[in-house]
Amino acid sequence: MRMIPDTKIIGHQQDARTVDGVVGAPAVAREPEPEPEALSARLLRDYDAGAFFFASPRRTMLARGVFATVPDAGGTNSLDGLPERVAAVLNASREAAHDIPVAVGAVPFDGRVAAQLVVPITIQRAGPLVFDGAAAARAPLAGPYTLRPVPEPSAYQDGVAAALKLMREGPLRKVVLSRSLHVDTAAPVDLRQLLHNLARRNPHGYTFAVDLPQRADAAPGAGRRTLIGASPELLVARSGLQVLANPLAGSAARSADPVEDQARATRLMASPKDLHEHAVVIEAVAEALRPFCRMLDVPKGPSLVSTQTMWHLSSRITGELLDPSTTSLTLALAMHPTPAVCGHPTALAHAAIGNLEPFHRGYYTGTVGWCDANGDGQWAVTIRCAEADERTLRLFAGAGIVVGSTPEAELAETEAKFRTMLQAMGLGLEAQP
């Protein structure tokens, strides 16, 4: 089956006084026809579990079917040689007369889990998501549900205290500690509606849904497993020789009170703790990108960006590649995991995460996106997300721990970050642990 080429958003109809191309026809000649649905909104509406959906601030993509699968490395680290394996599969797909081959999917936090990347049979693309305002958000959960935090809030605070102790006693400068929130439902989760709610509430982020292999411990007959979320953070994008990374580090919860909301933003921009946390991330990202770039522009200081639930310190790093054969996935893996999701130094932070977090992250804090045969692509950091199967969602949220952090404040930050998924699920703040 041939892939569908890029398609522009369908425009609005002509003025009501221009009917059937005749200028000057009276406005009452016929009932005005409804405006055509934007193609991007149609792609969102057409999503079904098992497909790949990815919406950025400038592009919407829906991919279906599996033409080819990127094989696992077969060793102890699934990320070893991953860009080369992807390139080989894309080249083979092109030689098999598959038009415009693209690899889509998710890369895990670490190599203990296999990357889930495929070349789809069909791809539809459009511009940014456009909503007509008529389709109101509905709750994707039907019937009763239960919530179970892992770890319990008090245990998470103990983990933060232990991380701070490691920093006082050794060279660890930052570690990101995460929590999970398990939601069990009586009825199947409406993934299409959940994806719609996430996209509608986060128009400037990266909304995604990725088909995942079923867990080894899944019950017999368990349905599909899907990675779904709305990340505010671009890991890296490549277009031709141009490179863009947009790391976020340093956060504060939004407030419903406009005066307090602005005060929180102001405090974040002046916070020594958060500015230090941000600087650690920017330094590491720039260091990872410099070997690949003839030019790299790193801002002297961060700016503020916001979602509906959070303020973030943000830096847009741009560059120009030295070698046009360097792919977006090569760049992504050179940066991954950044101190924004792991810590610094990376090896020490990774070890601390393994000792302090009572679960394996899987694809959370990995990266999700696409890479084509030319090397262009976009990869978002897999945060503000959940792993979902038919009646269970496992939500994730984390906070960066540095000197100056407190267990109480970091717990509150994770609770605020859960709100992106909880609100999209139709659960109020009272649902938080």
Q: Can you read off the two tokens belonging to residue 125?
A: 């693309």
Known active-site residue 174: yes
- DSSP for 65-109 reads S-SEEPPP-SSS-TTTTHHHHHHHHHHHHHHTT-SS-EEEEEE-S
Q: Can you read off the two tokens belonging to residue 333?
A: 């893996």
Residues in the chain, total: 433
Farthest CA pair distance, the chain: 81
Q: Can you read off the two tokens belonging to residue 419?
A: 């709100």
Phi, psi of 422 (to 5 degrees): -60, -45
Which residue among the candidates 84, 174, 413, 430 is catalytic per the annotation? 174
C-alpha 378/C-alpha 371 separation (Å) is 7
- Contact status, residue 322 vs residue 246, Cβ threshold 8 Å: no
- Contact status, residue 244 vs residue 237, Cβ threshold 8 Å: yes
C-alpha 419/C-alpha 384 separation (Å) is 9
- DSSP for 255-278 reads -SSHHHHHHHHHHHHH-HHHHHHH
Question: Regarding beta strands 377-381 and 248-253, do their DSSP bridges make them parallel or antiparallel, or are they unpaired?
Answer: unpaired
C-alpha 148/C-alpha 431 separation (Å) is 10
Q: Which residues contact 340 (CB under 8 A, 6 or more apart)?
A: 176, 233, 247, 248, 249, 281, 381, 400
Within 103-240, residue ranges assigned H as helices are 153-169, 191-201
Known active-site residue 233: yes
C-alpha 53/C-alpha 73 separation (Å) is 25
C-alpha 376/C-alpha 331 separation (Å) is 11
Q: Can you read off the two tokens belonging to residue 22?
A: 């005749």
- Contact status, residue 433 vs residue 415, Cβ threshold 8 Å: yes
Helix (H, G, I), strand (E, B) or coil at 355: helix
To which residue do tokens 């790193």 refer? Answer: 298
- Rg (Cα) of the chain, in Å, rounded? 22
- DSSP for 319-374 reads EEES-TT--HHHHHHHHPSPTTTSEESHHHHHHHHHHH-SS--TTTTSEEEEEETT
Which residue among the candidates 33, 84, 152, 233 is catalytic per the annotation? 233
Residues with a catalytic annotation lie at 174, 233
